[in-house]
Amino acid sequence: MGPQHVRTVGAGHDYMFMFWTTPDTGIRTLADLKGKVVYVAQKANPMFWEMAKMQLASVGLTLDDLKAKLTFGKIADAARDMIEGRVAAMMCPVVPSSVMEINEAKGECVFVQLTKEQAKYVIEHSDGYFIQDIAANDPRFRNKSPVQNAVCFQNAMFTPATMDPDIVYGVAKAIFEHTDEFADAHPQAKYWSLKHRPVANAVPYHDGSIRYFKEKGLWTQDNQAYQDRMLKKQKEILEKLGKK
């Protein structure tokens, strides 16, 4: 499909985007992944591949330094392959159900931690990510131990750039002014809130959403500078591919 004219409506809950492993592999740092069999990509999803490359690059490694770089289909299947020892680690955003399965089977799902310098390298070379320290037993991630310098991103709602601004404004307003009404619908629902981070510097925002967040005093000069930079970048990519 290639790059598209998409815009963000609003952002919600966070995901850690890390390498996972199990205690028995002995893998604790990114450097320990050298020579290991690792899932680094999900079929048809370039996010995994790019993040794996970037985190390895932060310690001077490439995908070719792995014994094998594999692609998986379903996250649940990849987690079982790790539990049963067919792979040593996997690159994946945190899915609590799979983390809990690994916790039960192996004692703990281990997240390969980055130093502050390594995490900074990753986010400086990857648009839309941020660093967050995660406390032990965070209900969002089911991690048994603290995770320092976690590379994270936010889930978001997207829409075509051509969508009517009034509709997008209304959708953003409906979501972020009624969080309490749907907060119990899902463990992550409460994070779709004005108190969390509804404006995430990733995919450019739709004009309708920008109008709403400006009314709430949440659209900053930094957000606008990022927006301008990403719109320019998106335009250049689309023009290069012959899309208007």
Q: Please, what are the domains in the chain?
A: 6-11+154-240 (3.40.190.10), 14-153 (3.40.190.10)
Backbone torsion region of residue 185, taken as left when φ is above 0, otherwise alpha when ψ lies between -120 and 50, otherwise beta:
alpha
Q: Determine the residue type at 185.
A: A
Q: Is the dihedral of CA 64, 65, 68, 74 positive or negative?
A: negative
Q: DSSP letter at 172?
A: H
Give the predicted TM-score (pTM) of the model.
Answer: 0.84
Q: How confident is the prediction along the chain (244 residues), in pLDDT tens digits per residue?
A: 566 788 999 999 888 999 999 999 999 999 999 999 999 999 988 889 999 999 999 999 999 999 999 999 999 999 999 999 999 999 999 889 999 999 999 999 999 999 999 999 999 998 889 999 999 999 889 999 999 999 999 899 999 999 999 999 999 999 999 999 998 888 888 889 998 889 988 889 999 999 999 999 999 999 999 999 989 988 888 888 876 6
Cβ distance 36 to 25 under 8 Å?
Answer: yes
How many C-beta atoms lie closer than 10 Å to residue 223's C-beta? 17
Q: Could you please report the per-residue DSSP string of 180-217?
A: HHHTTSSTTGGGSSTTS-S--SSSPBPHHHHHHHHHTT
